[in-house]
Amino acid sequence: MKKLILLLFIACAQELPIVETVEKVTFQQLMENNYPLIDVRTPQEFQGGHIENATNIDFNAADFTDKISALDKETPFLIYCAVGGRSARAASLMKSLGFKKVYELKGGYNNW
């Protein structure tokens, strides 16, 4: 019986979401962990204002997948765009590339 419970626990633990869309308050709390912060908007949008300490990796750039693939997949990442569309697609791509944990800002920079 104990083995069955342990197996069920392990199975459930493995199904934890890899990508989570979180509210601003939660995102700010996660920032306190110094997780890398990625802004997937265009360089022009980024120059117009961004969250402090964010790195700009343009989702629409031809080399986006190469740049994202070069990151440490074991590290949790925080990502955002303007309103959530590009960051959702970026998070999905990161999941498919084997990233362990990605937190996306609900509503994007416009919600910041």
* Alpha carbon distance 40, 89 (integer Å): 10
Report the alpha-carbon distance of residue 106 to residue 14 in Å, rounded: 24
Q: Are 49 and 109 in contact (CB under 8 A)?
A: yes
Report residue 56: phi and psi, to 5°.
Answer: -90, 120
Q: Give SS3 for 59.
A: coil
pLDDT in tens, 60-84: 999 999 999 999 999 999 999 999 9
Classify residue 94 by its DSSP letter.
Answer: H
In the chain the domains, ranked by start, together with CATH numbers, are 17-111 (3.40.250.10)
pTM of the predicted model as reported, rounded to 2 decimal places: 0.85
Q: Which residues are catalytic?
A: 81
Q: How many residues does the chain have?
A: 112
Name the strands in the sheet holding 102-105, side by side, starting at the edge strand that comes first in the sequence: 19-22, 102-105, 77-80, 37-39, 55-56
How confident is the model over 30-65, as pLDDT tens digits? 999 999 999 999 999 999 999 999 999 999 999 999
Structure tokens at 8: 């069920």
